[in-house]
Amino acid sequence: MRLTKFTHSCVRLDKDGSVLVLDPGNFSTAEELREALDGVDHILVTHEHPDHYDADVVNEFLDRHPDVQVHAPGSIADDIKSAVSAPDRVHEVRGEESFDLSPFSVRTFGGQHALIHPLVPIVENIGFMIDETLYHPGDSLIVPDAVHVGNLLVPIHAPWNKLHEVVDFVISVGADHAYPIHDGLLAERGLAMLTNHLKTFGGKYGTTYARLDPYESVDLEETP
């Protein structure tokens, strides 16, 4: 399975001629999103915030591609259903579910977005485990239970997290490999600093952390 990172939290997975895209958000340009979505079979959305789902671009894309399937938490799933043609291909997901998107398998974790501030309402958030080897937590630091994570996507910078929380998340998950997401607000200096910390502290606990920039790809090792 090949992972290609796009801006912020958007990633594309290619496997056996099929394509799955997670969190096509508005930190990417419309052109970049169309590249990420080229040939897509399935779209997974962790939550409703526009940096994770660009409704203007993606809904228009869905209208032109009625066979593309979408899986998302209830609130954003309802919004997508009301906005696109063929709404039956939009599926609501909750935490602690498993389903098959052949050739991909999917498990879900969590249920709510991390706290930004008590005055900011908390929304639904679902973390997705793909093929028992790649975990995308969305905007949360939920540690998946009863599974060894081979490859972890780490939300490294956000209004809702601190560096020590991100480091402890990496340590707690204990993945073999980790890569950044949710990095769209960082300038180069901040990105370099966080990369250094996560390489250092991840390495102490057995996780190899590597920076990926937009359009960079990596072939993921399957979890034994």
Long-range contacts of 109-114 (CB under 8 A, 24+ apart): 109/135, 109/137, 109/142, 109/144, 109/145, 110/137, 110/138, 110/140, 110/142, 112/140, 113/47, 113/49, 113/138, 113/139, 113/140, 113/160, 114/139, 114/140, 114/141, 114/158, 114/160, 114/161
Span 20-45, average pLDDT: 98
Q: Can you tell me whether residue 3 is helix, strand or coil?
A: strand
What's the pLDDT tens digit per position in 73-121?
A: 999 999 999 999 999 999 999 999 999 999 999 999 999 999 999 999 9
Q: Say whether pLDDT at 179 is over 90.
A: yes
pLDDT of residue 223: 62
What's the pLDDT tens digit per position in 122-152?
A: 999 999 999 999 999 999 999 999 999 999 9
Q: Say whether pLDDT at 224 is over 70.
A: no
Average pLDDT, the chain: 97
Please report the domains of the chain, with CATH numbers, ordered by start residue.
2-210 (3.60.15.10)
pLDDT of residue 135: 99
